[in-house]
Amino acid sequence: MFRYDFDEKLSFRKAVYYEFDPITLPRVFQDGTGGLGKYAPERGCIELYDSEGFVAHYLAIDQTFIDTVLPLILTGETRSFNQWREFLYWKVRNSGSQSEKAVCLGKMDTLMLDLLAQRKNMPLHRFLGATKDWAKAYKGGGSILLDDAELVDDMQRYVSEGYTTVKFKVGSDEMERDLRRIDKVRTALGPEIEIAVDANQKWDVETAAKFAELTEPYQLAWLEEPIHANDMNGIRRLKEYGFKVPLAFGESMRISYEFEMYAEKGVDVLQPSVGRMTRIDDLIAIRDLARDKGLRFMSGGRVYLCALFGTLLDDNELIEFHEPISQPVSEYALNIPTERNGRFYLPSDMPGNPQRLNLEKLEKDRLLKSKRYFYANQ
């Protein structure tokens, strides 16, 4: 299985943590379970300085990372990339691979890769082996709170912007409403556009199976997480019903081993989420697993981060652009990928990860709460 393996030594001398108030969404967003709300999830970002003077950036860091990782790395010690990973893994192992502490390790991976790419004077995606500077995307949104006409308008707009795959939320209290909305979107978009729907783990197996069967005439590209993401035998039972709608799972999982179980249980579309993995190279391992098993691969998460790794994907392996949540945060970011015709183009002339939070705009809008410094032990 593919793993990153870098021998360069790293020592960290300082970190700066910026905490900010929630960024308000233009409109309250809700899935079928009532999840999310009126704010974007991001609450902080970090700058991490190494001993050679390079600075790595990560746009979505919270207090868990500050409490878990910084005391372990700001020690003045020097280790290789892989040695740091090994060291940190054993420190958080007992918290479990699904824990927020474990997710911090994937973020630390990305910060270290940013530093290594800067040392080579290479954009991060090129340092990781990309041969192109863009990633192909599908566009998601479709809050359960939208009325039918608003939903159709959004999906039509997505297609007019160059997207050939779109996604929206299902899981209404009345299944008939979900089916009506699928019918209207399919009628509006025609047969050539891929339509996917996301239930956010809303149903039990029997309800999900009924829904999947009723949606067969609409040729959905996939039905995402219709039941609990950890219910592996439930997924097997779903597949035994014999419906034709592809099943997608993965955004709730944090490590590649679960994706191997998904493949064994019959999942058709594997969907790891960038920024939520315990090892960032698991994204590549899962991509390779999907290719080996003849499954589809999609990568979720914030599109400005996801695009970095989306450059390593083929045209049928898409990243997600969840506009209602990602766009408001992007307005507070600098050097982010540029959206054009269903693709996201990265800067090709900036070493490392060029993305920065626009601290000046955050402060101007009175969102910046605090700036905290952390120094390595001497």
Q: Where residue 2 falls among pLDDT bands split at 50, 70, 90? A: low
Write out pLDDT tens, residues 321-333. Answer: 999 999 999 999 9
Query: How many CB atoms lie under 10 A from the CB of residue 98?
Result: 15
Give the per-residue pLDDT at 35: 84
Report the chain's terminal Cα–Cα distance, integer Å: 39
Degrees to nearest 5, angle at CA 229 with 260 and 208: 115
Question: Structure tokens of 175?
Answer: 């299944």
Asked if 200 contacts 225 with a C-beta cutoff of 8 angstroms, the reply is: yes
Question: Structure tokens of 31?
Answer: 């899935």
Write out pLDDT tens, residues 249-303. Answer: 999 999 999 999 999 999 999 999 998 999 999 999 999 999 999 999 999 888 9
- Superfamily (CATH H level) for 127-345: Enolase-like C-terminal domain (3.20.20.120)
Question: Structure tokens of 48?
Answer: 């991490």
Q: Where residue 62 falls among pLDDT bands split at 50, 70, 90? A: very high
Give the per-residue pLDDT at 335: 95
pLDDT at 193 over 80: yes
Write out pLDDT tens, residues 197-240. Answer: 999 999 999 999 999 999 999 999 999 999 999 999 999 999 99
Q: What percent of the chain has pLDDT over 90?
A: 95
Write out pLDDT tens, residues 78-112. Answer: 999 999 999 999 999 999 999 999 999 999 999 99
Residue-averaged pLDDT of the chain: 95
Q: Where residue 4 falls among pLDDT bands split at 50, 70, 90? A: confident
Once rounded to an integer, what is the mean pLDDT over residues 107-130?
Answer: 96
Return the residue matching tokens 């914030």: 302
Domain limits, the chain: 9-123+355-375, 127-345
Cβ contacts of residue 169 below 8 Å, gap of 6+?
30, 31, 32, 142, 143, 144, 197, 198, 199, 200
Asked if 263 contacts 293 with a C-beta cutoff of 8 angstroms, the reply is: yes
Asked if 72 contacts 87 with a C-beta cutoff of 8 angstroms, the reply is: yes
Cβ contacts of residue 42 below 8 Å, gap of 6+?
20, 22, 23, 59, 60, 329
Give the per-residue pLDDT at 208: 97
Asked if 68 contacts 95 with a C-beta cutoff of 8 angstroms, the reply is: no
Common-topology check for domains 9-123+355-375 and 127-345: no
What is the model's pTM?
0.95
Q: What is the CATH number of domain 9-123+355-375?
A: 3.30.390.10
Cβ contacts of residue 186 below 8 Å, gap of 6+?
195, 218, 219
Give the per-residue pLDDT at 141: 95
Write out pLDDT tens, residues 66-78. Answer: 999 999 999 999 9
